[in-house]
Amino acid sequence: MIAVAGLGHWGPNLARNFSELGVLTALCDSDDETRGKFAARYPSVAITGSFDELLAIDGVDAVVIATPVPTHYALAKQALEAGKHVLVEKPPAMRGAEIDELVAAAFERDLVLMAGHLLLYHPGVRKLKELIDAGELGEVLCVYGNRQNLGIVRTHENALWSLGVHDLSVILYLLDEEPDECVAHGRDFLTKGVEDVVFCYLRFPSGKIAHMHLSWLDPHKMRKITVVGREKMVVFDDMELERKVTVYEKSPWKRTDSYGEWQTRSGDIAIPKIPTDEPLKLECQEFMRLVAGEGDRAKVAEDGARVVRALDRLTESLCER
């Protein structure tokens, strides 16, 4: 049975989904008023203000952590050491060394350690992965993410941590490689020490490259991932309602009869139908599947870890400049 810790903005969505799946057994929040609200909403669920107490509740074998980011590592470590499976909101830790420690703790005890990278359960992102893995795009050359808007201006967390974690998780999922080069440039125009605009460059051992434009100082509202293959190109646009994914039959090719000069080809443009399933529900179901012993626990933990390691390296690069 599942316990959810942290009932601020995001935790209630997790609690609702696990309740609908019939496995919610306990809740935890350090704030009295929040606890009062949730005790009324879930009268048959145990509720506590102490994470230690939550771990000791009978029947709790998995814990979902939706507390503020700086608390993730310590709470996830405590839960794993108490023998609980863990779903921890993104990012699951702030440093590469911390996430490596959590992965080792989960591996030693054969426990699930899953990061709450919501976009990986978006049917549109799943479609991109399916197209890439089926070889539809030909060799993938580069991927880039745009996550821009005017606002919400954050003053504690920079654009890399606030926005970049989403696109980074998708890029690493699509390419299924750990980057060997991570470079970030950015500027803190509005709040000293908090970068509002960040440009990131990643290069992978296969030679593929990726880029992320992250900003809350922009005239465009964009949530887009573009994948460029040798034969086709595909765009996932989360701002679109009906054309979340567009596949372009566009590519360069070399003419054999004209001294090998490059020509371009523009063929059909296809819009595959994307299911409207709630990504969070799919994420919660995937966690339940892993807890039940299905799927590859070690790969899931490692996939979450490489996002933190890349974030850590991008942060170091950002700080150097």
Ligand X SMILES: NC(=O)c1ccc[n+]([C@@H]2O[C@H](COP(=O)([O-])OP(=O)(O)OC[C@H]3O[C@@H](n4cnc5c(N)ncnc54)[C@H](O)[C@@H]3O)[C@@H](O)[C@H]2O)c1
Tell me which residues touch ligand X (CB under 6 A). 5-11, 28-31, 34, 51, 66-69, 71, 89-90, 116, 118
Q: Per the structure block, which two tokens stand in for 167?
A: 């696109």
Q: Per the structure block, which two tokens stand in for 297?
A: 């626990």
Count of Cβ atoms closer than 10 Å to residue 10 Cβ: 16
Residue 11 or 145 with smaller CB distance to ligand X: 11
Burial zone of 40 (CB within 10 Å; 0-12 exposed, 13-18 middle, 19+ buried): exposed
In total, the chain counts a number of residues equal to 321
Question: What's the start-to-end Cα distance of the chain, in Å?
Answer: 47
* Residue 280 DSSP class: H
Residue 270's DSSP bridge partners are 247
Compute the least distance from the CB of residue 5 to ligand X, in Å. 5
Compute the least distance from the CB of residue 110 to ligand X, in Å. 25
Compute the least distance from the CB of residue 140 to ligand X, in Å. 26
Compute the least distance from the CB of residue 318 to ligand X, in Å. 19
Residue 34 or 146 with smaller CB distance to ligand X: 34
**Residue that is written with structure tokens 């296809």 in the block:** 270
Closest residue to bound ligand X by CB: 8
Whole-number Å distance between alpha carbons of 29 and 49: 5
**Strand extents, DSSP E, 196-244:** 197-203, 209-215, 217-229, 233-237
Compute the least distance from the CB of residue 207 to ligand X, in Å. 31
Count of Cβ atoms closer than 10 Å to residue 256 Cβ: 7
Closest C-alpha to 14, from 90, 111, 77, 83: 90
Residue 34 or 148 with smaller CB distance to ligand X: 34
Whole-number Å distance between alpha carbons of 100 and 96: 6
Whole-number Å distance between alpha carbons of 266 and 57: 61
Compute the least distance from the CB of residue 279 to ligand X, in Å. 9
317's enclosing H/E stretch is helix 297-320
Compute the least distance from the CB of residue 9 to ligand X, in Å. 4
Compute the least distance from the CB of residue 100 to ligand X, in Å. 19
Whole-number Å distance between alpha carbons of 249 and 252: 10
Please name the residue ranges forming H helices in 146-269.
159, 165-175
